[in-house]
Structure 1
């Protein structure tokens, strides 16, 4: 393949990033998805069975492309161009580990372990998916500008011949990082990668390769026949325990090595913790321990999903008006989460906000506010992941106490000074105050039990005990994870414990949030664990400590507890917490004299568990008949119980019907045009399970239709490029707008229609089927709603569903007319 080429298939080559004996890596631009990528092209010098080699490589790369891990560089595509295979990777800025070693030489033990441990985590993930790297080496490890190591080139090692002049007996990999059993007997297993990891760790702490020679055959001979030893102590000082770990990974016999990459990572973790026990933890050692704990969590299949869900919502910034759309998009990716939120916001818990029945996330944001919906989403995500049959009861107790503290904090914040602009901030801060303990209880159950034993035996607090057992305190664990999840600074600040003596008056709004958060959590702990005879003494002590910073009367405290108990029993019906049976539920009811109320609420919770319906859902399930604009009468429908699943024919009609009613209310309420259009698009997106739904608006200056906003996959990128002229073009888009007719294209490649699909569409969108709903006023096009699915023939709309979709389109027209 020509190294000076300008294009590889559709990819526009920018420059060469690196060259190897049989490969070239380019920086390129993907015009279809509008992103930079790295493309590796490979050239096989061996002609015999070359096509088989190419096909095998492409097939293996497709297998690798299915892996997702934060320490892997993913493969996006694989193909063939001008007779050679190419692979398309995510482009990651930074340098390779080999570059770093050339610049710095030997690394400290902490630095080296901080790099190899995530690599082992990525390798373990690959092994669990049945994939062996076979060419693990420093040049295949990228270090991002943030210092995060990422492994690349899984399954695509270069081919080299075993002996000069022979081409039939080939080895895969780089000689200096091959395992002895592979060189001698061509034995391939996960132990090959463990041996390579040992060689890399050796190289990082020593400063040079473990095995050297004048040529590749001398290197391979030494690996296969000579034991690898550490340098003499006079040459370089390596901790004895770390040296043992390196030598075990480099054992000649595979059976003497670590059984898995995960086991080697655990050994390094134990080494780090042992070192911290003998010295005060530094910022570097704390970070290393946090990294280890995060890697252990990632081995639990749900943790990456939890992290991504929370992080994606936290990435949305409330100050940006378009963030309503971004927040809705983040939530709508999870059908179950979407419907839990909608059930919750329609309960009495949020009745004080008004606004009637809410059927879309977009309307929920309008009625309840951006922060309230974001906080509900994050709270529900955390609760859904914090469930495990082995210790569900203990976790539920902890979660109920956490939720109770959040409700108390929100109520206190409402009566606080103007420093607290939004009580929802206090709610979420208090909810996540003890995040480290909650996560440790779920992911490190044995260690959490050990921490409780240490607290009892040594009569110390949980931060001292957790630091002793985990190598990091619960507080630092929670703060570290909150930062990785992108929580704002006020939440991170509020997670820091206050001093045990009296608390001074707050100087800033963040200080006030921290004080309210701490007070709420300490009050909940007293309610949950203090015997009745000691209540008065504990409350007086708490009031005395916070007297200067947050004066609160006993009567106010009682009212706050009562209100929180009322709210938590309403909240519990949606997430089925079982407040009645909980320790804090019983104690709080006893404190407030609401025992009967909690029992009744508890009975309601059990009823909810059987039916999984709230009062609002029951109301929404009532038969609805609506006369929409332009005389269209809707079919009747009901909101089904299984809304947590993707829509089927039954609940598609129900979601459409509920959405139309919701939007009708919003039209009467005078919602802004953007908010109404957003609700209409969201209803279409959820009801029909479209891949994406997008609104185009006429731009008079450009005489074109341009994308405005939408929902679905890659929608932010698609909106930027979705643009077409209003002047005559012989395609389906012009036909829909000029004639004012709805058009469904089942297959863009059908012979009769393929010439009517414009080039701009094929370059921008990968979907094979789409539907167009033009919005014309007096035969003049003003907007267009576009919806699609990836596979040809994927859109099927019975007449009654099509009628409902057209009603939504008519509501959009009415909203636009009202602004003219």
Structure 2
């Protein structure tokens, strides 16, 4: 359903849907915590009782409360109410909210891979920004730090909650946003389709869930110079910059200078503290059981990389390695037994093909929602970034290579794309990326249905494939298809 383009109705529609249908557990947890009086001793036991019915949530809260980030004592904290006594009500309240937020979003079911990645990247940025905002307020009271932490974490809750809904509507908007050339176009596209902006949705959720005045003020008045709001704004900007594939050096220098001035540090010292903060964020994400965020957390080490002269390094030439093949196949076999998330499976199978089979580049291409195109989801190896943006396959030609492979659900070894038997089918492939000495293709199957393809070639090094290479490639994709089927059930 597409909501009415009237802004108020659009905001109301999405707020109600998220609160009542998509994330009711988080909504009720936040509202229950808000009702507890911070200065009332009885609130400590009430806090424990409010989450004790959820064993997974309680376990996650206690694991975080006992982590080095929060607990400096020697004795273990064994109850939520005890955690509130040792750490303070505000800290435990925020741990509860963070744990429930991560649980609600990370367990979003049946998201398209592209939408899921967008959600994970957004969550990772928010998590790192929350830690950074708290670090920037280290000279202030703990209450101020905790308030800024949770407001920064929830700074984009409207956007995160929307993507977690999944379904055709989110997939369509995701595809539309990929076509936008700049942030202004993206914002216009979002308003046109949602009937509201993501910040407006965040404000509405914040009011509906009683998430606190600081979050509302931070979204409404990002240029406010109050320390809490200033830290939230700068943390969000820095993490957004560090998450970009290509960093705007001038913009980064500007935000670093502003943040260093805010904290009273020079830029080098602030950068060092950012890097330490990033290490702490990795540990905290692990304590929350959110390991999926680790590969997507903004990396402050990139600041050093863009301020130093980059060394020209020849990319590695991967040759077939049976030991790596065996190790990666074992990992995939474990995924069949222990259900694993989609993106992790993709990463392991492609690493096995790249480093084990010994190719120059490989990737997974997924069908678009309309099933009229194949678009790169992950590409590894040489020219991976160029391939990810340019290796888009049009499936309109019924005689095309991928249409035939989709119909017959079989792996193909195209030994010479210019040979007579392949030339016509290969016309759909982008000429600039066509490996002249051949490539390998296999369908990505879930419950027997083709949802995409695996691709591998040795184009840059101009090496040919042998029969054993094709068999090893097939071994990986067949096992990965079993893993995907298990993971999506």
Does the 8 A contact of 2:128 with 2:278 survive in 1?
Answer: yes
For 1:520, which of 235, 238, 245 is the aligned residue? Answer: 235
> Is the aligned partner of 1:296 residue 2:11?
no
Equivalent runs, 1:492-571 vs 2, <5 Å: 492-496=216-220, 498=222, 503=223, 506=225, 511-531=226-246, 534-535=248-249, 537-543=250-256, 552-571=265-284
> Is the aligned partner of 1:459 residue 2:182?
yes
Aligned to 2:93: 374
Offset, 1:458: 5.9
Q: Secondary structure at the match of 1:495?
A: helix
Aligned to 1:653: none
Q: Deviations over 1:713-734 (max 9, x none)?
A: xxxxxxxxxxxxxxxxxxxxxx
Offset, 1:355: 4.9
Q: Could you tell me the TM-score, scaled by structure 2's length? A: 0.55
> Is the aligned partner of 1:422 residue 2:144?
yes
Q: Deviations over 1:154-175 (max 9, x none)?
A: xxxxxxxxxxxxxxxxxxxxxx
Q: Call closer, same or farther: CA 1:407–1:435 in 2, change over 3 Å.
A: same
Equivalent runs, 1:109-508 vs 2, <5 Å: 266=1, 270=3, 272-273=4-5, 276=6, 281=7, 286=8, 288-297=9-18, 300=21, 302-351=22-71, 353-386=72-105, 387-388=107-108, 389-390=110-111, 391=113, 392-415=116-139, 421-443=143-165, 446-447=169-170, 450=173, 453-454=176-177, 456-457=179-180, 459-461=182-184, 462-496=186-220, 498=222, 503=223, 506=225
Aligned to 1:602: none
Aligned to 1:78: none
Q: Call closer, same or farther: CA 1:549–1:323 in 2, change over 3 Å.
A: same
- 2-side partners of 1:514 and 1:381: how far apart? 24
For 1:577, which of 264, 287, 290 is the aligned residue? Answer: 290
Give structure 2 stretches of 5+ with no counterpart: 306-330, 339-489
Q: Deviations over 1:176-200 (max 9, x none)?
A: xxxxxxxxxxxxxxxxxxxxxxxxx
Does the 8 A contact of 2:144 with 2:228 survive in 1?
Answer: no
The structure with the greater share of residues assigned to helix is 2
- 1-side partners of 2:148 and 2:19: how far apart? 29
Aligned to 1:249: none
Offset, 1:433: 0.6
Offset, 1:330: 1.2
Q: Deviations over 1:115-139 (max 9, x none)?
A: xxxxxxxxxxxxxxxxxxxxxxxxx
Q: Call closer, same or farther: CA 1:449–1:553 in 2, change over 3 Å.
A: farther
Does the 8 A contact of 2:134 with 2:146 survive in 1?
Answer: yes
Does the 8 A contact of 1:429 with 1:495 survive in 2?
Answer: no
Offset, 1:454: 4.7
Equivalent runs, 1:623-772 vs 2, <5 Å: none
- 2-side partners of 1:346 and 1:548: how far apart? 34
Q: Deviations over 1:717-766 (max 9, x none)?
A: xxxxxxxxxxxxxxxxxxxxxxxxxxxxxxxxxxxxxxxxxxxxxxxxxx
Q: Call closer, same or farther: CA 1:464–1:321 in 2, change over 3 Å.
A: farther
Q: Secondary structure at the match of 1:422?
A: helix
Offset, 1:296: 3.4
Aligned-residue CA RMSD in angstroms? Answer: 3.2
Give structure 1 stretches of 5+ with no counterpart: 1-265, 594-605, 612-820
- 2-side partners of 1:449 and 1:557: how far apart? 41
Offset, 1:451: 6.2
The structure with the greater share of residues assigned to strand is 1
Offset, 1:549: 6.0
Offset, 1:448: 6.9
Structure of larger gyration radius: 1
Q: Call closer, same or farther: CA 1:492–1:321 in 2, change over 3 Å.
A: farther
Does the 8 A contact of 2:158 with 2:198 survive in 1?
Answer: yes
- 2-side partners of 1:563 and 1:347: how far apart? 16
The number of equivalent residue pairs is 302
Offset, 1:494: 2.0
Equivalent runs, 1:761-800 vs 2, <5 Å: none
Q: Call closer, same or farther: CA 1:309–1:582 in 2, change over 3 Å.
A: same
Does the 8 A contact of 1:341 with 1:376 survive in 2?
Answer: yes
- 2-side partners of 1:464 and 1:550: how far apart? 35
- 2-side partners of 1:335 and 1:513: how far apart? 33
Q: Secondary structure at the match of 1:414?
A: coil
Q: Could you tell me the TM-score, scaled by structure 1's length? A: 0.34
- 2-side partners of 1:423 and 1:294: how far apart? 28
Offset, 1:541: 2.2
Q: Secondary structure at the match of 1:402?
A: helix
Q: Call closer, same or farther: CA 1:464–1:514 in 2, change over 3 Å.
A: farther
Does the 8 A contact of 1:565 with 1:589 survive in 2?
Answer: no
Offset, 1:381: 0.3
Q: Call closer, same or farther: CA 1:305–1:577 in 2, change over 3 Å.
A: closer
- 2-side partners of 1:581 and 1:355: how far apart? 28
Q: Deviations over 1:655-682 (max 9, x none)?
A: xxxxxxxxxxxxxxxxxxxxxxxxxxxx
Does the 8 A contact of 1:543 with 1:551 survive in 2?
Answer: no
- 2-side partners of 1:512 and 1:320: how far apart? 28
Offset, 1:409: 0.7
Q: Which has the higher contact order (CA 8 A, sep 6+)?
A: 2
